[in-house]
Amino acid sequence: MTPLEERFEVWKDRRSCGSCTMCCYVFEVPAVATRDYEWCRHCRVGVGCGIYETRPEDCRSFYCLWRMGFGTDEDRPDRHGVVMDLQDRLVDGQLVVRVWRPRQLQERRLRSAGLMVREVIETLTRDGYAVRAESHGPRRGNDGSVS
Ligand code: SF4
Ligand code: SF4
């Protein structure tokens, strides 16, 4: 297991999703024919997955950075407006924090999102990784950062 995989193992269950279902909106999951920024047809919004026991591997293995323990309780993606995750492999020698801003929520809590990104970057930098944030969604900043 790589040091990064060990980090994932330690972090992945620091919180539970509760009634948040935001990743079922922002991500495309090919196995269930979803599209970015559309609710998956199996999602019971604010409740959970309608096919939880048989959900695809992509869904089983997804942990956002809030669930991994970053940010405050108020930063849960459905309250906070932003979903963030960490790619599990290096890209050009860097770890990539992906920041997803759903269209209808993009104006909310952006300062708080910026603090959370900073917390993630500082933690991983202390581990010796080079880290960059990458913004996804309808409105992308020129430098890819959350502002
Ligand atoms: S966005 Fe995070 S907290 Fe919300 S359902 Fe997905 S993994 Fe759980
Ligand atoms: S299959 Fe379930 S967990 Fe996966 S995107 Fe759809 S509602 Fe979410």
**pLDDT above 60: residue 139:** no
Q: What is the pLDDT of residue 57?
A: 95
Summarize pLDDT for 87-137 with one digit per residue, the tens: 878 899 999 999 987 765 556 577 788 889 999 999 999 989 999 999 887
Q: What is the pLDDT of residue 142?
A: 45
Residue 144 lies in a domain: no
Residue 110 lies in a domain: yes
- Residue 12's Cβ-side half-sphere holds a number of Cα atoms within 13 Å equal to 11
Mutate to test the pocket of ligand 1, among 12, 16, 22 (most ligand atoms within 8 A of CB): 22
How many domains does one find in the chain? Answer: 1
Residue 107 lies in a domain: yes
Token reading at 102: 């759903």
Cβ partners under 8 Å of residue 132, min gap 6: 94, 95, 96, 97, 144
Q: What is the pLDDT of residue 22?
A: 93
Q: What's the pTM?
A: 0.86
Residue closest by Cα to atom 1 of ligand 2: 55
Range of the domain at 68: 3-136
